[in-house]
Chain A
Amino acid sequence: MILVPITYRGGVYRHDEIIALIEDLGGYIVQKHMIAQEVVLQSFVPRDDIDLIRAVAKPLSGEVIDSPLVGTEIAVVIPSLEIHHLPHPACDIAEYTRRLGAKSNMVGMARGVGKRIANINDEERDVINEHDIAVYVLGNFETCIEYKMPFLRRGVEVPIVLCGAPDKETLQRIIQPPVDGYVGNVGRFMHRTKESDELAMLDEIIAEITRVLEKKRVEIAKDPLSVSPARLMDVIREQVPAILDVTSPTPLTVQMAGLRVKLPYDTFAGVLKKTEIEDGITIGDITEVVPSRMRDYILVKILPFSSTNTVI
């Protein structure tokens, strides 16, 4: 069964029927937002059943949209959290990816500014490495991007999409060794993105992120994960009731090959490891449960089939 990410958008009225349907079909609901009279469900559903969900949703005036970014966690990396980068370029990009289903976090560097002093510290590097992809939003000058990028990417192992004002070809030329994706004509600007050409630019960023993530998905598929992250999320939600008391918007953040559990590591790591998924196989058997550099959260990294010899 191949699960694909979708977003369901519809009214509150009878939306529980859609939730029940997705669960009955073997899908998972990653996030549920209730905004006034509207419900947005970000979920994984079996590919063959999308038409069925569409048919059920039609009388409820609900719509089903493909959203390739559901179930991914994206780091939007900016040189600082100053007015020069916030709110416009960085927030607009982070918000746009969020709208399409991703969980985006903003990483503002302590010393990312300037040419001479630009650097990345170990905490920033580790936090970025906990994500599925890093989107670097840099500035307007070719010289600066060329000079700074080697410092800002030092130690970052996740795929990088680089955004900057020079065009795509220039970015490709100046960045050595190459990064995974480039989006040109997105530099520093000081206004909201609302003109059609600016929205097209955001779409281009999304397309590039999707392309890079798709490549990563293909890589993962070559050595499949022992358990799907969405399923693991369901298991934790059922068996570790403490997660239901967490007030953060996404207490369990699904990633492509893991899960961020927003519970304190010292208290809950042991509990998580012993939680049974199925037939006596526990979470500890097929995953690595490590402390996250983000607050005191737990990071669950799912091991591939090749190292556990199990797929459930």
Chain B
Amino acid sequence: MASIEYFEVECTERLGGEYYKQITNDVLLDHNLLRVINKLHVFIDPKVPIFVAVGVMKRVSSRVRVQDFANINPVEGKTILVISDETYLAPMLKVFWQRFGKDHVEQPDRFTVILYDVPASTQEIEEIVVADPSEALYKDLIYALRCIAPEGFRVRRETYGKEKFSFVASEDTLNGSADALIKEKFALMGETP
């Protein structure tokens, strides 16, 4: 948990709280979200019942550019890209096809892409933005919090600002007291919603 600055699970039952700390850790780890969360406070009261998770995200420069995962070697009349991580290969090809046309893009094997006669310099190619994972981050985060929350809690309300997020779930209709709880839990982390 070194990468998270603040991580607390508050629960009215001691043992249940310990289990939920473990669950929260496991789920965030599985979804690869620990690296993007800065602060997280979870509050559960099974008697009400209510589940609240509030937190602050890290500021991540999330745009993925060609240079992040490919080495570019210009050779006479063509540019050879050696791919080191395949994760963004498909969106990259899509961008190339759109920009340069399929005739100018060739992929002889898994880790090599060759561009022929493209009207762009090496530096321009390096700077091309291929993907922006932060678009999906919100969905991933809410999905993870749904996994963490006790199962019967199917009435949910989630908010996601620039960096701060909150997630409230309960079995019953959520009323105004949920907002007060969110404020209270943010205050515990030294933040305002």
Q: A140 near B19 (CB under 8 angstroms)?
A: yes
Chain B residues within 8 Å of A96, by CB: none
Give bound CA distance, A192 to B151, whole Å.
19
Is B19 in contact with A80, judged by CB distance below 8 angstroms?
no
Check A165–B152 contact: CB distance below 8 A. Answer: no
Q: Which of B23-31, B61-69, B93-101 forms contacts with chain A?
A: B23-31
Shortest CB-to-CB span from B170 to chain A, Å, is 10
Asked if A115 is at the interface of the complex by the 8 Å CB criterion, the answer is yes
Find out whether the CB atom of B150 lies under 8 angstroms from the CB atom of A139.
Answer: yes
B16 contacts the other chain (Cβ, under 8 Å)? yes
Residues of chain A within 8 A (CB-CB) of B22 are: 189-190
- Which among B16, B23, B172 has the greatest number of chain A C-beta atoms within 10 A? B16
Report the interface size for chain A: residues with CB under 8 A from the other chain: 26
Enumerate chain A residues within 8 angstroms of B171, measured Cβ to Cβ.
114-117
Decide yes or no whether B20 CB sits under 8 A from chain A: yes
User: B16–A165 contact, CB under 8 A?
Assistant: yes
Q: Is B133 an interface residue (CB 8 A)?
A: no
Known: A114-B171, A115-B46. A189 touches B152 (CB 8 A): no
Complex CA gap A82/B147 in Å reads 9
- CB atoms of B152 and A188 under 8 A apart: no
- CB neighbors of A among B144-190 (8 A): 147, 150-154, 171-172
Evaluate whether A80 and B46 lie within 8 angstroms (CB atoms) in the complex, with A140-B19, A141-B16, A190-B26 already known.
Answer: no
Of A84, A113, A190, most B-chain CB atoms within 10 Å: A190
B47 in the interface, Cβ–Cβ < 8 Å?
yes
- Shortest distance between the CB of B11 and any CB in chain A (Å): 8
Instruction: Decide yes or no whether A79 CB sits under 8 A from chain B.
Output: yes
Counting residue pairs across A and B whose Cβ atoms lie within 8 Å, the total is 67
Number of B residues, CB within 8 Å of A: 21
Q: Please tell me which one of the listed residues B13, B151, B172 contacts residue A143 in the complex, with CB atoms under 8 A apart.
A: B13
Contacts of B152 in A (CB 8 A): 79, 113-118
A188→B151 CA distance, assembly (Å): 10
A194 at the interface (CB under 8 A from B): no
Q: Does A166 lie at the interface of the complex (its beta carbon under 8 Å from any beta carbon of B)? A: yes
- CB within 8 A of B46: which of A118, A143, A167, A187? A143
Q: Which of A117, A118, A166, A189 contacts B23 (CB 8 A)?
A: A189
A124 within 8 A of B: no
Contact of A140 with B20 at beta-carbon distance under 8 Å, contacts A84-B147, A114-B171 already known: yes
Chain A residue with the shortest CB-CB distance to B19:
A140
Minimum CB–CB distance from A168 to chain B (whole Å) comes to: 12
Is A190 a contact partner of B172 (Cβ separation < 8 A)?
A: no
Report how far A115 CA is from B154 CA in the complex, Å.
11
Among B26, B47, B153, contact of A114 (Cβ-Cβ < 8 Å): B153
Does residue A83 face the partner (Cβ distance < 8 Å to B)? Answer: yes
Choose one: A83, A116, A165; the contact of B172 (CB below 8 Å).
A116
Do B26 and A140 touch across chains, with their CB atoms under 8 A apart? Answer: no
Indicate whether A295 reaches chain B with its CB closer than 8 angstroms.
no
Given contacts A116-B171, A144-B46, contact A83 B154 (CB under 8 A): no
**B49 CB–A CB distance under 8 Å:** yes
4 nearest CB pairs, A to B: A114-B152, A113-B152, A190-B26, A84-B151
Q: What are 28 A-B contacts with C-beta separation under 8 Å?
A: A79-B151, A79-B152, A83-B147, A113-B151, A114-B151, A114-B152, A114-B153, A115-B152, A116-B152, A116-B171, A140-B15, A140-B16, A140-B20, A141-B150, A142-B16, A144-B46, A144-B49, A144-B150, A165-B15, A165-B19, A187-B16, A187-B19, A188-B23, A189-B22, A189-B26, A190-B22, A190-B26, A191-B26
**B residues with CB within 8 A of A:** 13, 15-16, 19-20, 22-23, 26-27, 30, 46-47, 49, 147, 150-154, 171-172
Other A-B pairs beyond A84-B151, A165-B15, 20, CB < 8 Å? A79-B152, A83-B147, A84-B150, A113-B151, A115-B171, A117-B171, A140-B16, A140-B150, A141-B150, A142-B15, A144-B49, A166-B15, A167-B15, A187-B19, A189-B22, A189-B23, A190-B22, A190-B27, A190-B147, A191-B26
